[in-house]
Amino acid sequence: MRILIVESSMLLLLTAMTSGCVGSSSVTKQPQALPASTEQATKETVLTSTPTPTQKTTENSTPEATIATNPTRCETSQLSVRQVSKDAGVGNVALTYAFTNNGSSPCTLNGYPGLAILDAKDQPLERVKVIRSKDTYFSSQQPRQQVTLAPGKQASFQIAYNHIGSPEEHCPMSSKIQITPPNAYQHFTLTEEIKPCTGKVRVTPVRAVTTQPY
């Protein structure tokens, strides 16, 4: 009886030892670490596979400053005006005046200057009418044009009238005239004797002066 119990104990011990060996052989193996070179290459592959925004370099990407090419209208303050010539024939008189740009930048004139004929009291001369005209006795067909005046350059116009009247007629006589540049508000006042016996004074539009300033 005692011998049978000992054999059973030895049999159980032998079975337990065998089971332990079998269990140890089924343990999952840990993955081997990649070689340093392989691991580094894998990381580099992952990094380079990520899209990286690219910056495009475009020439003249910054807009250039725009320089104004259209000169502004001439203001009275930047101009001067004076008589530059006088013609007479067959009772007709033409006084040529010129505006000069005294400023430091170009400006434009376009159209007819304003003209007022004044008496000794600085009042408009009675019975005298100022007429805008493209024609005078000394010139014909002078249409309106835009004149660009560079600094120091001139634009001219004519004041024309007839100074011959009948012996019985008393022709009016001016003491001064007022000249206003086209599209301006301030005027120049000059001493000028104009004797328009027909009661009409013609003024022409400004024209470019191609010769040197008078």
Nearest to 109 by CA among 152, 178, 141, 156: 156
**Within a domain: residue 157?**
yes
**Within a domain: residue 190?**
yes
**Within a domain: residue 59?**
no
Residue with tokens 């807009």: 63
Q: Which amino acid is at 175?
A: S
Residue 136's CATH number: 2.60.40
**Within a domain: residue 39?**
no
**Within a domain: residue 23?**
no
**Within a domain: residue 162?**
yes
Q: How many domains does the chain have?
A: 1
**Within a domain: residue 13?**
no
Q: Quick check: helix, strand or coil at residue 129?
A: strand
Distance from chain centroid for Cα 112: 27
Q: Per-residue pLDDT tens for 120-139? A: 999 999 999 999 999 888 87
In degrees rounded to 5, what are phi and psi of residue 44? -65, -40
Q: Which amino acid is at 166?
A: S
In this prediction the pTM is 0.65
Q: Which amino acid is at 105?
A: S
Domain span including residue 133: 72-208
**Within a domain: residue 145?**
yes
Q: Per-residue pLDDT tens for 57-71? A: 444 433 333 334 678
